Structure formats: structure tokens, C-alpha cells
Amino acid sequence: MDGLFSAVEVDAPAGAKPGWRLERLEVYNWGTFDAAVYTLDLGGDDALLTGDIGSGKSTLVDAVTTLLLRSDRINYNKAAGADSRERRQEWYSMLLAIGNQRGWKTGAAAHRYRERFGVWPRDLIEVAKAPDLEVRNWMKARQIAFLKGKAKSEAGAGAHAA
């Protein structure tokens, strides 16, 4: 017996690897994989997922996790860790990209980063990266909070003027 299960125990054809095997993964509009269908052909073989920071390794793991687990059991991007240096670099890079798109003044992305993490983005690389869903949703929530505060303040000012 080579491993935990032999091919005979799981009633698999001779030479087949036991257990469930991933043949192919296709992602479309999933995290950073948008505007096209991206395919990873594994053919049921083992694979090692490697790449640079922000290349989509955790995004692919999240895609497979979504297929295998109930929604209440999923902890997305667990590999990166919410407060890891890698994830903080990703956040800063994505905030820089949003700032470039929206014409923010120099330093505005650093202020947003400080709002999110409570510290300035020291020793992080100034490189823009397309924002993922988490960052876009966080920015949307901040905009809604700002507009609600602005409307409340304007309503209060209008009441004092009358």
C-alpha cells in the first residue's frame, strides 16, 4: 500500500490515483480573473501553485474552496492572512490603483490605508494593482458612510438656518 488508500480499496482502475482529482478549473469574473475565461488544466495530477505577490494564487484556492465547502464554512484568502505584510502590500497597491483611476492627490492612498489598518504604509512598494472585490467593497462602504455623514451634517445645518 503506497498511501492512506490503495487503488483497490477505493475501487479505482489500475494505475489510477485514488480519491477525488481536479481535472480542470475555469474561472471567469472571479477576483482578479476577469474579462476572460482562465483555465488551469491539471488532468487529475498533483500541482504546486506558485507566483508573485498578487498573482492570484489565493484567488484560485478561494475558487476551489467555494466549490467544496458550505458558504458558512469558508474563510476566503486564509493563506494570505488578513494582517500579513503580503496582504497589506496588496491593499496598498490596490488603493494606489483606485487613486490613479479617480485622480486622488498624492498621499490619499496612504491616508485610506491608515484608515483601514491604523498605521501608515511604511516600507511598502508604490506599485498599483487592480483592486479585488474586498477592497472595492470596503471603498464603497467608506463612500456610503461619508455621504450619510455629509447628508446628516447638511440636514443639521439646514435646520439651524431656518
Do 14 and 63 lie in a common domain?
yes
- Three-state DSSP state, 76: coil
Long-range contacts of 122-129 (CB under 8 A, 24+ apart): 124/88, 124/89, 124/92, 125/89, 125/92, 125/93, 126/96, 127/93, 127/96, 128/93, 128/94, 128/96, 128/97, 128/100, 129/54, 129/90, 129/93, 129/94, 129/96, 129/97
Q: Does one domain contain both 9 and 56? A: yes
Q: What is the pLDDT of residues 23-64, one digit of tens each?
A: 999 998 887 788 899 999 998 888 898 988 778 888 888 888
> Do the Cβ atoms of 25 and 42 come closer than 8 Å?
yes
Q: Which domain holds residue 49?
A: 1-79
Q: Last residue of some domain: 35, 52, 79?
A: 79
Record the pTM.
Answer: 0.46
- The answer on 32 and 74 residing in a single domain is yes
Q: Which three cell numbers stand for residue 18?
A: 485514488
Q: What is the pLDDT of residue 90?
A: 92
pLDDT for position 111:
95
End residue of a domain, out of 79, 105, 126: 79
Extract the C-alpha cell encoding 117: 489598518
Q: Within this chain, do residues 126 and 156 fall inside the same structural domain, yes or no?
A: yes
Helix axes 108-117, 85-102, angle to 10 degrees: 140
Q: Which of 12-21, 55-64, 97-106, 141-150 has the lowest mean pLDDT?
A: 12-21
Is residue 98 domain-shared with residue 147, that is, in the same domain? yes
Mapping DSSP to helix (H, G, I), strand (E, B) and coil, where does residue 13 land?
coil
In this structure, are 94 and 72 located in the same domain?
no
Domain co-membership, 65 together with 102:
no
Whether 31 and 50 map to the same domain: the answer is yes
Residue 118, by phi and psi: left (phi above 0), alpha (psi -120 to 50) or beta?
left
Q: What is the pLDDT of residues 67-115, one digit of tens each?
A: 888 776 776 766 555 457 788 899 999 999 999 999 999 999 999 999 9
What's the pLDDT score for residue 107?
A: 94
Tell me, yes or no, whether 97 and 72 share the same domain. no
Contact 97, 131 (CB under 8 A): yes
Q: How many domains does the chain have?
A: 2
Per-range mean pLDDT, top range of 80-89, 124-133, 143-152 = 124-133
Q: Which of 43, 63, 79 is the last residue of a domain?
A: 79
